Amino acid sequence: MALAPYPWLEDAARTLAEMRVRLPNAVLVYGPPGIGLYELAFAFAQSLLCENPKPDGEACGECSACALMKAGTHPDCRQVLSEFMCAEHEVPYVAAENERPDAKKRLSREIRIHQIRALADFLGMNANRGGRRVVVVYPADAVRAEAASALLKSMEEPPEGLVYVLACENIDAVLPTIRSRSRLLRVPMPPKETALDYLRGLGVPEPERALALAGGAPLEAACGAAGLRLDPEMEKRVLELLARGGRLTPDDIVRGAAPDLSVPAFALLLSRWTNDLVRAKLGAHPLYFIHEGRALEGLAAATTTAKLFAFLDAVRGVRRAEDHPLNVRLVWEQILLKYAALFAAPRRG
């Protein structure tokens, strides 16, 4: 159905359309990254505001409400996205009053308190066009603690006709009380063949390899959704360094550093590589780097399971801190030095 922005979202879109009969105050769509959760949430929001929806719930795409939604100017819709996601989806971001514009500043991946407070005026108004009003929140798992409390207050007694449409990748990171006030809809990872057909249709080279590297997420495989992939040259350079294992020297690490490295994408690549090393150590086939099985097996044989899990924890630490002003070169050097130490022979005596 056309309410689904992508073919693998048809079942989820059908469930959302059925909710229109008895529409809840809040809907929380969740699933893995890189499958189009935001696009699904926005399509549903547009269908709720459409003046002439089709029988299956799809927005007509022709009425004035649909035109306003496409232009991002519908007065009865507010989108609350993190600064990073605003840039990703071309949604205007409203900075805090004390926030100075800085072209070099790393875009925040969190939804902050001033963004939730800015909803107050919108929540207090009647619908401009006499119908429903919709608030889209994404990613709902990246709402800061104080902002989550403010969001919860607005959800506890929502005005008549107001619907919250939330979307997130990590349902466990959403405040339990927000989850309890929402109708939950889980969206699974697309079937492999469906995702591959989509990638082939786009002309993506080596679609099976691209899909595996993206963990099965077709949008990430197609274009590195939400900055989750390094650029091809940088990715190749990192993989060449990782393949060296114990032969990786400090000089290799220093020479290979890139000042414009994306820390989130770098950390995700390391995490997936290490997960495949663990799988190789346990005798399983790689999940992400499906053409590097032999190299992974050789590296896994030169270390221990305990060391691999300890390194995986270190990589997760980098991912948790990815929104902080990290020194990129320092992150690169420290984590790769720890990686090389995985394969160092234990000292005797």
pLDDT of residue 349: 44
Domain identity same for 128 and 225: no
Place of tokens 């929001």: 45
What is the structure's pLDDT at 16? 95
The percent of residues above 70 in pLDDT, for the chain, comes to 93
Confidence class of residue 193 from pLDDT cuts 50, 70 and 90?
Answer: very high
Please tell me the total count of domains within the chain.
3
* pLDDT-derived band at 157, boundaries 50, 70, 90: confident
Same domain for 31 and 119: yes
pLDDT, tens only, 257-270: 877 777 888 888 99
Task: Assess whether 29 and 178 both reside in one domain.
Answer: yes
The domain boundary residue, chosen from 177, 210, 229: 229
28 and 150 together in one domain:
yes
Which amino acid is it at 239?
A: L
CATH number of 289's domain: 1.20.272
Residues spanned by the domain of 75: 7-186
- CATH number, residue 162: 3.40.50.300
Region of 96 (left: φ > 0; alpha: ψ -120 to 50; beta: rest) is beta
In a domain, 143, yes or no: yes
Q: Is residue 348 part of a domain?
A: no
Q: 204 and 214, same structural domain?
A: yes
One domain, residues 330 and 223:
no
In the predicted structure, residue 348 carries a pLDDT above the cut 70: no
User: Do residues 64 and 104 both lie within one domain?
Assistant: yes
Same-domain status, 234 and 213: no
- Assess if residue 38 is contained within a domain: yes
292 and 318 together in one domain: yes
What are the tens digits of pLDDT across the range 276-321?
A: 999 999 999 999 999 999 999 999 999 999 999 999 999 988 876 6
The DSSP result for 68-115, as a single string, is: HHHHT--TTEEEEE-HHHHHHHT------TTPPP-TTSPPP-SB-HHH
CA dihedral 30, 36, 41, 47 (to 10 degrees): -140
Regarding whether 251 and 147 lie in a shared domain, the answer is no
Residue 93 CB neighbours (<10 A): 15
Identify whether 23 is part of a domain: yes
pTM to 2 decimals?
0.82
Per the domain annotation, does 153 fall within a domain? yes
Tell me if 279 is assigned to some domain.
yes
Same domain, 133 and 99: yes
Does residue 42 share a domain with residue 30?
Answer: yes
Tell me the two tokens of residue 286: 């790689």
